[in-house]
Structure 1
Amino acid sequence: MLVNELVTAYEAERKEAPRTMNDLLDYYQKKYIAGEIDIKDYRDVYNFLHQQGATSAHEYM
């Protein structure tokens, strides 16, 4: 999944635009946990978002 596809999916499901990269990362992680995304795609997008400065809510725990 490309980042622009991720933004589109986020907007369609949440009925609003993501405010931060963190919002996208959290959304993507929920999709992965739900089994909707395979591990390779997850790693690629996770690494990209992380390089853009996104931090996961799970990193604070």
Structure 2
Amino acid sequence: MLINELISVYETERQESPKTLNDLLDYFQKKYIAGDIDIKSYRDIYNFLHQQGATSAHEYV
């Protein structure tokens, strides 16, 4: 999975660039919760972004 692919999906829908990796993670978490992506895809994205240094807002609790 390439970061450019994730950014492209984000930019296409949001009409702006993500400011941080955390923005990307939050975006894909919302897509998962809304049922727009399946659990396997979400886990792959989560793990990839987490390895790149992204943290979920839920991890701060």
Query: Shorter-chain TM-score: which interval?
Result: 0.7 to 0.9
Q: Which residue of 1 aligns with 2:39?
A: 39
Identical-residue share of aligned pairs (%): 77
- CA deviation after TM superposition for structure 1 residue 2, in Å: 5.2
Deviation readout 1:36-59 (Å, 9 max, x if unpaired): 111111111100000000000111
Count of matched residue pairs: 61
| Deviant stretches of 4+, over 4 Å | none
Q: 1:34 to 1:2 in 2, by over 3 A?
A: farther
The one-letter code sitting in structure 2 at the alignment partner of 1:19 is K
Q: What root-mean-square deviation, in Å, do the aligned CA atoms of Structure 1 and Structure 2 show? A: 1.5
- CA deviation after TM superposition for structure 1 residue 31, in Å: 0.2
Matched, 1:58 2:47: no
Deviation readout 1:8-37 (Å, 9 max, x if unpaired): 121122221011110000000000000011
Gaps of 5+ in 1: none
